[in-house]
Amino acid sequence: MIADPVCSSMQPATIAQALAAANRLIDPVDARLLLEYVLHVYHVYLLTHPEHQLTEQQAANFSQLIQERAKGLPVAYLTGERPFYDLTFHVTNAVLIPRPETELLVEWALQLIPADRPERILDLGTGSGAIAITLAKHRPRSYVVAVDLSPDAITVARQNAKTLNVTNLEFVTGNWFDELSREKFDLIVSNPPYVAEHDPHLQQGDLRFEPEIALSAGNDGLACIDHIIAAAPGYLAANGWLLLEHGYDQAEACRRLLQQADFNNICSKPDLAGIMRVSGGQLNFSVLSLCSVPGATMKDA
């Protein structure tokens, strides 16, 4: 029998005792998030009610989650949710866990989509639908098509759209552009798999539990980025933009590929850690740079 980290005696713990026990085994922030999840309370409740007694069932549930987290399972898969931008998304191990750096892609996309025009947006490799649903929610006059190869991911994304009450979008199961008609989009966005196949990070942390198909790609991680950039011009309207998230060391390669595909106004923008994380370009348009984020780099087309 496994020693129970929360109830060592017959007496279930208080919030303070449960957290102290958990903190010996897992990161304190993770312990807090898991206890909030078990008790259905906000952080402030844990802070203001340290003497609150867990029920036996709650203590058992918390113990179970701590043990799973100690084995490495991501918090988001244990709680089944992850906040992204201003929404909370349901996640399962069929989808990548939304990351804060991807919010940069959403911010840039929102700068490019006028709120008062019915733009058409394509999200490639939508996963949980985090990017597509956030864009659709913030631009209700626009219409988003979200594609993923994995039917299980599409099921999660559809569920998120339903829960978040977003209807100006549709989901397509397919490989990148393969299932699309030749309709044109004003904006294409993607957070494709871009980690190199033998990158040791794939064997570390949360990445060990995430779907490899959403994480890694051949050609040093650039295979999908290369494919998307080469094919995107066939699906972009005049003056349309393509924005891609990429790895910490792929900005230059990404800009080079955009240049080869005749994009203009090519630039990269940094994430909050100062790492160039999203690159993009515009088709058939070459006036002044539209980069407006401080620290953005501009490459002449």
244: Cβ contacts below 8 Å, ≥ 6 apart: 105, 189, 190, 191, 192, 225, 228, 229, 254, 278, 279, 280
SS3 string, 127-163, reads CCCHHHHHHHHHCCCCEEEEEECCHHHHHHHHHHHHH
CB of residue 153 to ligand GLN, shortest distance in Å: 13
Measured from the CB atom, is 42 or 248 closer to ligand GLN? 248
Site for ligand GLN in 192-221 (CB under 6 A): 192-195, 207, 215
> Which of these segments, 67-75, 189-197, 225-233, 281-289, binds ligand GLN (CB under 6 A)?
189-197
Examine residue 99 and tell whether it contacts ligand GLN (CB under 6 A): yes
Measured from the CB atom, is 90 or 246 closer to ligand GLN? 246
Measured from the CB atom, is 12 or 247 closer to ligand GLN? 247
Classified as helix, coil or strand, 182 is coil
Site size toward ligand GLN, by CB under 6 A: 9
DSSP 8-state secondary structure symbol assigned to residue 194: -
Examine residue 191 and tell whether it contacts ligand GLN (CB under 6 A): yes
CB of residue 27 to ligand GLN, shortest distance in Å: 17
Closest CA to 126 of 109, 149, 105: 149
Q: Indicate the burial class of 4 (C-beta count within 10 angstroms; 0-12, 13-18, 19 or more).
A: middle
Classified as helix, coil or strand, 272 is coil
Measured from the CB atom, is 31 or 195 closer to ligand GLN? 195
> Which of these segments, 64-72, 131-139, 191-199, 265-273, binds ligand GLN (CB under 6 A)?
191-199
Examine residue 265 and tell whether it contacts ligand GLN (CB under 6 A): no
Measured from the CB atom, is 38 or 278 closer to ligand GLN? 278
SS3 content of the chain, % helix, strand, coil (to 5): 40, 20, 40
Contacts with ligand GLN, residue ranges (CB under 6 A): 96, 99, 191-195, 207, 215
